[in-house]
A and B are shown apart, each in its own frame.
Chain A
Amino acid sequence: MTQNEAGISLESVIECFPLSFVLDGEGRLTKLGRYFAAHHPEISGKQYGEVFTLAGGAQAFCRVLGDCPPDRPSAAFPRECVELRLRTADDMLIAGSLLPLARAQGALFIGTISPRDITKVTDYGLTMSDFAPFDASAEFAMMAQINEAVLKDTRILNEHLAAARDEAVLARKEVEATALVDTLSGLANRAAFQRTLAEGASDDGEAPELDELCSLLVVDIDNFKPVNDRYGHAVGDELIKSIGRRVLGVIDDGAEAYRIGGDEFAVIFRGMSAYRARRCADNIMRAVHEPHYVNERRVRVSASGGLATRMFGVKDLDSLYKAADIALYEAKRSNSNKLQTFTTGMGQRELEKKLLERDLVEAVESGTLAVFVQPQFDIRSGAMSGAEGLVRWWNGRLERDVPPSEFIPLAEDCGLISQIDMFVFETVLRQQRAMGEAGRAITWSSNLSPITLGQEDLPQRMRAIINRVGKPRTPVSIEITEGAIVSDTEAVGTTLRAIRGMGMEVAIDDFGAGQTSLSHLTRLPISRLKLDRSLVERIDKDGRAETIAHAIVALALELGLAVTAEGIERMSQAEKLQRMGPMQAQGFLFARPMPLAQFAALVSEGAAAAGGNSAAAG
């Protein structure tokens, strides 16, 4: 065993460094580290030049071998790194230092895998054990492989994710495509239509300006519901399919057809002159109107259409749709089965309606609607016997009273009517209770619209109001119109019985206008009839009107119902009615509707009775 000055044997060094070897003074490999001994024992005894090529630090290598002095001190070892390529092992690159041995024994090479080849360790058949325990190259090699493996798996993961994303995108597109098609008609559906309307809108919602040559048609089937009712939904569905096919069949290139509702279609014409769009719209209307043969039936429907074109100052698609819708409304209002083209005048009317609707919402929400009172008198004694609460609206923007005939239909359209009805009912209830407590008990009445009457929770809402306000000493009378009781007598009867159960009376307003079956009078819990003002209006001029009025009063009295005649404006009318029997009288002849405060003053001063007497007597 050879030992150096420090007492370390050459063998122990060789044992520690698997990639080490010793060269003798002739340059032959005399001792091999563990790796070489195990994997390349054939190199033993060979000239280093046969085994290795010098890849780096050749000068230092040669200097050490050539200049190796007999007693060279170890402190003079060259520091340069040398790189060797092992010819027999796929040119494995080994980096290390060649150290001259004392007393001209040769040189010791201590090496490890070159950092440049660190990722190839397994290609060379190296394992962790082929590295010295303190050789960081093993860790580098391992980390390089781990990183390679993780990167590879991450790439695989990314590829999977990308594939999944692509699949998801495709699936979403498929779903979207399905979601945008009306499966019945095969046309694009409402969602697609709305998407088209919103297309190109900026972040602040501003829509892009339309192409000059753009028109939009909205078509509504006039009598689709009766077809469904008469032949069943299967026929109705086939009819829709047939209409869809026809619409597609007659539209030109550049037109897009949509089914935007149960029986409503829309067609957008792009790149067409207004004239050509109108011609195409006419064709569509005709095609829809032609008889359809569905399920061996011949079905004919008519349709109304509204057409709006860019040329009338409409700048975006959404506005174009609104304009077409307004035109459609006009078409249906004037005469169904008609194609109406939008004009700016229509827009103005619609705008006014929208503004009024907005004002009404504000008025209801802010409680600025008012309840006026119109007194009712015993037609024979002239004594005040009742009062009807009537809603009134002063519109500050328009600086005028908006008549009920104008705002009540609007309230019905925009869903405010029930709120208004309950507001009047509560006001009337409070007044009745207050007057009753003041010793002036008269019957107050309040109106319910057919819409309110049709709401299932009406009795509960009225009961809640009564609980909140308190029950008056005399009953409140609830006035309903004839129209409200003809549609669903059973449901109305249930509601009316609930109302009667709460201690209120029920009066039919405008009786005699012609809608009510007399049988309703026996089947429904009615307590009073109010003669229609159209009868009262003619009662002193038209003998037949007088006869009918007389018969109604006689019938009511016979059935034990009370009677009120409203709309009395002339003394001659009052005289006629006075002779027909006992009843309440209401009209301008006696008193106009007045604010609550004025009515309260009237009552307290006793002027009302005096006025009523004079009118009745006069």
Chain B
Amino acid sequence: MYGMVNNAVRSFVIESHGAQAWARICERAGVDQGEFAAVLPYDDALTLELIAQSSAATGDSVEQLLHKIGRYWVHFAVRSSFGPLVAFGGAHFEEFLGNLDAMHSKIKSSLPKLAPPSFKVEPLGDGTLRVSYLSCRDGLFPFVEGLFEGLSEHFGQEVAILGFEKLGPGRAQWILRVSDRDARLSAA
């Protein structure tokens, strides 16, 4: 994965548990405490090790942690150099998820080792969506659900998971109910 993902893990741990916790995690994972180069690819095993060590250090299960990092990822990406691109990706939840593949495909032309997941969005009516997910990496479903939550907060829309089905390694689909943006805002 690109260093930006590792940086998100780093930033999440430091913000939620402090720099010392991150230092311990790095020590156990055998990596330097500094930032990762966002535009350089790192071994997936390193990211998984960081997550495993973070899980051990924070007391969250790996699934819980993935969920939290998925949620955090949206805020992290908005604050990153790619923030404008997130804004360009869409003005609301459905639009953004629907444009994500196109966005990833363009990013891949600059970061050729990017192996992003694919999201296919189908409106089912009555504010429900079917989101089909496909990734070359298995076990990141909690991260995706965290991502939904992060996007929900970012766009000010309520997103409820009505159904989840795992279709195979790295393949799943969700049925989501997504409120209008205004509804969330008015609720808030």
Interface, chain A (partner B; CB < 8 A): 121-122, 125-129, 139, 141-143, 145-150, 152-154, 156-157, 160
Beta-carbon nearest neighbor of A156 in chain B: B38
Q: Mark B55-81, 1 if CB is under 8 A from A, else 0.
A: 000000000000000000000000011
Q: Is the CB of B102 within 8 A of A128?
A: yes
The 4 closest A-B pairs by CB, nearest first: A149-B81, A153-B38, A152-B81, A122-B87
**Chain B residues, CB < 8 A from A142:** 85, 88, 102-103, 106
**Chain A residues, CB < 8 A from B88:** 121-122, 126-128, 141-142, 145
Given A127-B95, A129-B95, residue A146 in contact with residue B35 (CB < 8 A): no
Given A142-B103, A149-B80, A157-B38, residue A127 in contact with residue B110 (CB < 8 A): no
Which of A126, A127, A148, A156 counts the most B-chain CB atoms under 10 A from its CB?
A127
The secondary-structure label for the interface of chain A is helix
Q: Mark B71-114, 1 if CB is under 8 A from A, else 0.
A: 00000000011101101111100010001001100110111000
Q: Which residues of B in the span 8-54 have a Cβ within 8 Å of any Cβ on A?
A: 34-35, 37-40
B108 to chain A, nearest CB (A): 9
Beta-carbon nearest neighbor of B7 in chain A: A153
Which of A127, A139, A154 makes the CB contact (< 8 A) with B89?
A127
**Chain B residues, CB < 8 A from A153:** 4, 37-39, 81
**Chain B residues, CB < 8 A from A147:** 110
Which of A125, A128, A157 counts the most B-chain CB atoms under 10 A from its CB?
A128
Given A127-B88, A142-B106, A145-B88, residue A160 in contact with residue B81 (CB < 8 A): no
Q: Mark B158-180, 1 if CB is under 8 A from A, else 0.
A: 00000000000000000000000
Q: Is the CB of B84 within 8 A of A150?
A: no
Which of B84, B99, B110 counts the most A-chain CB atoms under 10 A from its CB?
B84
**Chain A residues, CB < 8 A from B80:** 149
Beta-carbon nearest neighbor of A143 in chain B: B106
Which of A128, A141, A150, A160 makes the CB contact (< 8 A) with B111?
A150
Beta-carbon nearest neighbor of A126 in chain B: B88
Alpha-carbon distance between A156 and B82 when the two chains are bound, in angstroms: 13
Q: Which residues of B in the span 100-142 have a Cβ within 8 Å of any Cβ on A?
A: 102-103, 106-107, 109-111
**Chain B residues, CB < 8 A from A148:** 81, 84
B188 to chain A, nearest CB (A): 21
Beta-carbon nearest neighbor of A164 in chain B: B34
Q: Is the CB of B39 within 8 A of A154?
A: yes
Extra inter-chain contacts (13) besides given A129-B91, A153-B4, A156-B81, CB under 8 Å:
A127-B90, A128-B90, A128-B103, A129-B95, A145-B84, A146-B82, A146-B85, A146-B107, A146-B110, A148-B81, A150-B39, A153-B38, A157-B40
**Chain A residues, CB < 8 A from B109:** 143, 146
Q: Is the CB of A150 within 8 A of B87?
A: no
Alpha-carbon distance between A141 and B89 when the two chains are bound, in angstroms: 11
**Chain A residues, CB < 8 A from B102:** 128, 142
Which of A127, A152, A153 counts the most B-chain CB atoms under 10 A from its CB?
A153
Q: Is the CB of A127 within 8 A of B39?
A: no
Alpha-carbon distance between A459 and B38 when the two chains are bound, in angstroms: 66
Q: Is the CB of B84 within 8 A of A128?
A: no
**Chain A residues, CB < 8 A from B85:** 142, 145-146, 149
Name 11 A/B residue pairs within 8 A (Cβ), A-sorted.
A122-B84, A126-B88, A127-B95, A128-B89, A128-B90, A129-B95, A129-B99, A146-B107, A149-B85, A156-B38, A157-B40
How many residue pairs link A and B with beta carbons under 8 A? The number is 72
Alpha-carbon distance between A584 and B136 when the two chains are bound, in angstroms: 96
Beta-carbon nearest neighbor of B98 in chain A: A129
Alpha-carbon distance between A352 and B85 when the two chains are bound, in angstroms: 81
Given A128-B102, A143-B106, A157-B40, residue A149 in contact with residue B84 (CB < 8 A): yes
A155 to chain B, nearest CB (A): 9
Alpha-carbon distance between A429 and B102 when the two chains are bound, in angstroms: 90
**Chain B residues, CB < 8 A from A143:** 106, 109-110
A319 to chain B, nearest CB (A): 48
Which of A121, A128, A145 makes the CB contact (< 8 A) with B99?
A128
Which of A145, A148, A157, A160 counts the most B-chain CB atoms under 10 A from its CB?
A145
Q: Is the CB of B106 within 8 A of A139?
A: yes
**Chain A residues, CB < 8 A from B34:** 160
Alpha-carbon distance between A252 and B139 when the two chains are bound, in angstroms: 74
Beta-carbon nearest neighbor of B103 in chain A: A142
**Chain A residues, CB < 8 A from B107:** 146
A402 to chain B, nearest CB (A): 64
A158 to chain B, nearest CB (A): 10
Alpha-carbon distance between A541 and B177 when the two chains are bound, in angstroms: 129
Q: Is the CB of A146 within 8 A of B37?
A: no
Which of B38, B91, B106 makes the CB contact (< 8 A) with A146?
B106
**Chain A residues, CB < 8 A from B91:** 125, 127, 129
Beta-carbon nearest neighbor of B39 in chain A: A153
**Chain A residues, CB < 8 A from B4:** 153
Given A122-B84, A126-B88, residue A150 in contact with residue B37 (CB < 8 A): no
Beta-carbon nearest neighbor of B35 in chain A: A160
Alpha-carbon distance between A142 and B100 when the two chains are bound, in angstroms: 12
**Chain B residues, CB < 8 A from A150:** 39, 81, 110-111
Alpha-carbon distance between A489 and B77 when the two chains are bound, in angstroms: 81
**Chain A residues, CB < 8 A from B40:** 157
Q: Is the CB of A157 within 8 A of B39?
A: yes
**Chain A residues, CB < 8 A from B99:** 127-129
B39 to chain A, nearest CB (A): 5
**Chain B residues, CB < 8 A from A160:** 34-35, 37
Alpha-carbon distance between A156 and B81 when the two chains are bound, in angstroms: 10
Beta-carbon nearest neighbor of B90 in chain A: A127
Alpha-carbon distance between A96 and B39 when the two chains are bound, in angstroms: 36
**Chain B residues, CB < 8 A from A146:** 82, 85, 106-107, 109-110
**Chain B residues, CB < 8 A from A126:** 88
A14 to chain B, nearest CB (A): 19
Beta-carbon nearest neighbor of B40 in chain A: A157
Alpha-carbon distance between A473 and B122 when the two chains are bound, in angstroms: 105
Alpha-carbon distance between A122 and B85 when the two chains are bound, in angstroms: 8
Q: Is the CB of B81 within 8 A of A127?
A: no
B14 to chain A, nearest CB (A): 17
Alpha-carbon distance between A470 and B88 when the two chains are bound, in angstroms: 93
Alpha-carbon distance between A392 and B100 when the two chains are bound, in angstroms: 92
Q: Is the CB of A149 within 8 A of B82?
A: yes
Alpha-carbon distance between A147 and B88 when the two chains are bound, in angstroms: 14
Beta-carbon nearest neighbor of B34 in chain A: A160
**Chain A residues, CB < 8 A from B87:** 122, 127
**Chain A residues, CB < 8 A from B103:** 128, 142
Alpha-carbon distance between A10 and B95 when the two chains are bound, in angstroms: 25
Alpha-carbon distance between A130 and B34 when the two chains are bound, in angstroms: 39
Beta-carbon nearest neighbor of A128 in chain B: B99
